[in-house]
Amino acid sequence: MLNLYIVNGPNLGRLGRRQPEIYGTATWSDVMNNLRRDFPNCHLEDFQSNHEGALIDYLETLTDRGADGAVINPGALTHQSYALRDAMAALSIPVIEVHLSNIYARESFRAHSVIAPVAVGQISGLGVDGYRLALLHLVLLMDSDS
């Protein structure tokens, strides 16, 4: 069974209530319930924090937790956190960057991700489907490895 991790950064704990016109009406627990239903053969763990250091501490534990891959939505840290980027670069597992909104179609500061160069790839603008598609890619990646 694959161990896949989903990490959400600042303000994503309020999904469903935070600017629903941009981020949608589903809550994070709705999203996790659907993902667990869609990936019954994966062990899915999630973590959210509004704190950069807590996110970095968590990323550092992924190897010890036996993670096979991860999906991260770093929130606004996407655009400015070299520390989070360094933590990701140090991981030996594939990590996919996800954004609910299309970061290229919004304010100009959102159009740059310091995270993207150290991610396997990025999904932006597909709403909560982005998490599902990112997990699907990780599953396909691992299948092709075995």
Interface residues for ligand DQA in 4-23 (CB under 6 A)? 11
What does each C-alpha distance from 8 to 5, 27, 41, 132 come to in angstroms?
10, 13, 22, 14
Question: Both tokens of residue 24?
Answer: 């949608």
CB of 32 to ligand DQA, least distance (A): 16
Q: State the greatest distance between any 2 C-alpha atoms of the chain, in Å, as a whole number.
A: 42
| Among 54, 76, 89, 90, contact with ligand DQA (rule: CB under 6 A) | 76
> What's the N-to-C CA distance of the chain in angstroms?
13
| Site for ligand DQA contains 73 (CB under 6 A) | yes
Q: Judged by CB under 6 A, which stretch of 39-47, 56-64, 74-82, 85-93 contacts ligand DQA?
A: 74-82
| Site for ligand DQA contains 78 (CB under 6 A) | yes
Give the three-state DSSP class for 3. strand
Residue 79 annotated among the catalytic residues of the structure:
no
Phi, psi of 96 (to 5 degrees): -110, 135
Residues that bind ligand DQA (CB under 6 A): 11, 73, 75-76, 78, 99-101, 103, 110
Active-site residue numbers?
Answer: 23, 99
